[in-house]
C-alpha cells in the first residue's frame, strides 16, 4: 500500500468517531506495524491534521474537525509548486512565507515519488532584488486592504502628473508585469486602479472605512470589467 493511501485511510478511519481508535486496530486494518502507525500519525499531526491522542491510548480527530482527503495527481502537485514560486517572486513577503509553509505541510505527507516530482519542476519565477524591495510595499497595501484602512498617497499617473489622493483600498491584482491597487478614490469620487510602483509615498490616515455596496469590491470589479484600462 502506498504511503499516501495509508495516510488517507488513517484520516478516513478517524473521521466521525466519538471515541479514540486504538493504534493496534489501525495497524491491523492497514497491515502495518504499530511503529509505522505511530510515525504516520505523528507526521499527520506535524502537517496540521488535528489528531488528538497518543500511543497506547488511541487517536481521534479534534471535535468539529472535518478533513478532506489529501490526494494530488502529479500535475496538481506541480501546479502548487509553481504557484508557490510565483507567489514568492511577485507577492509580498507575508504571502510568500504563507505559500512556502503550506507547501512544506503538503510535501510532509506526500509519497516519495510525488515529492521528487515537486522538486524536479522546471518552471521557475526568479526573485530579483528589485522585486524583493517592492515586497514590503505590497505587504503594507495588502494589510490596508484587509483592515479597510483609508490611505493618503502621493501618486503620479502614466503621464507623470502628480496628485495627492485619499483612497479606500479594496483589492490587489497582479497582471503578469505589474500590480494594481483597486480602490475608491475620494478625490475623483469614483473607482480607480493605482500602480504601486507609481506611488511616491503613502500612509494610513487612521480612519477605518465601511465598505458600502455602491463603492465596495463587487461594484469595483464590475467597473473594472467594463473598463479594463481604468487608471488612477
Total-model pTM: 0.65
Question: For the chain, how many helices (H) and strands (E)?
Answer: 8, 7
Write the CB contacts of 26 (distance below 8 Å, at least 6 apart in sequence). Answer: 10, 13, 37, 59
pLDDT means per 10 residues, the chain with 232 residues, are 81 82 89 91 88 85 63 79 86 85 71 74 74 79 97 94 96 88 96 94 97 95 86 76
Tell me the CATH architecture of domain 130-226: Roll (2.30)
Name the residue ranges covered by the structural domains of the chain.
Answer: 3-61, 74-120, 130-226
**What CATH number was assigned to the domain covering residues 3-61?**
1.10.10.10
**What gap in Å lies between CA 182 and CA 220, rounded to an integer?**
7
Amino acid at each position: 500500500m502506498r504511503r499516501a493511501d495509508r495516510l488517507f485511510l488513517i484520516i478516513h478511519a478517524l473521521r466521525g468517531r466519538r471515541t479514540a481508535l486504538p493504534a493496534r486496530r489501525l495497524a491491523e486494518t492497514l497491515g502495518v506495524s504499530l511503529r509505522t502507525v505511530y510515525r504516520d500519525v505523528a507526521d499527520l499531526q506535524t502537517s496540521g491534521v488535528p489528531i488528538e491522542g497518543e500511543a497506547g491510548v488511541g487517536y481521534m480527530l479534534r471535535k468539529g474537525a472535518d478533513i478532506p482527503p489529501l490526494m494530488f495527481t502529479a500535475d496538481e502537485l506541480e501546479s502548487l509548486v509553481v504557484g508557490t514560486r510565483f507567489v514568492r517572486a511577485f507577492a509580498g513577503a507575508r504571502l510568500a512565507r504563507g505559500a512556502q509553509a503550506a507547501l512544506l505541510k503538503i510535501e510532509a505527507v506526500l509519497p516519495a515519488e510525488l515529492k521528487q516530482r515537486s522538486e524536479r519542476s522546471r518552471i521557475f519565477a526568479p526573485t530579483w532584488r528589485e522585486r524583493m524591495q517592492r515586497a514590503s510595499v505590497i505587504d503594507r497595501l495588502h494589510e490596508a486592504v484587509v483592515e479597510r484602512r483609508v490611505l493618503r498617497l502621493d501618486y503620479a499617473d502614466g503621464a507623470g502628473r502628480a496628485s495627492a489622493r485619499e483612497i479606500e483600498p479594496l483589492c490587489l491584482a497582479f497582471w503578469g508585469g505589474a500590480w494594481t491597487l483597486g480602490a475608491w478614490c475620494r478625490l475623483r469620487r469614483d473607482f480607480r486602479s493605482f500602480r504601486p510602483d507609481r506611488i511616491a509615498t503613502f500612509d494610513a490616515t487612521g480612519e477605518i472605512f465601511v465598505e458600502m455596496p455602491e463603492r465596495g469590491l463587487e461594484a469595483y470589479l464590475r467597473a473594472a470589467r467594463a473598463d479594463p484600462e481604468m487608471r488612477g
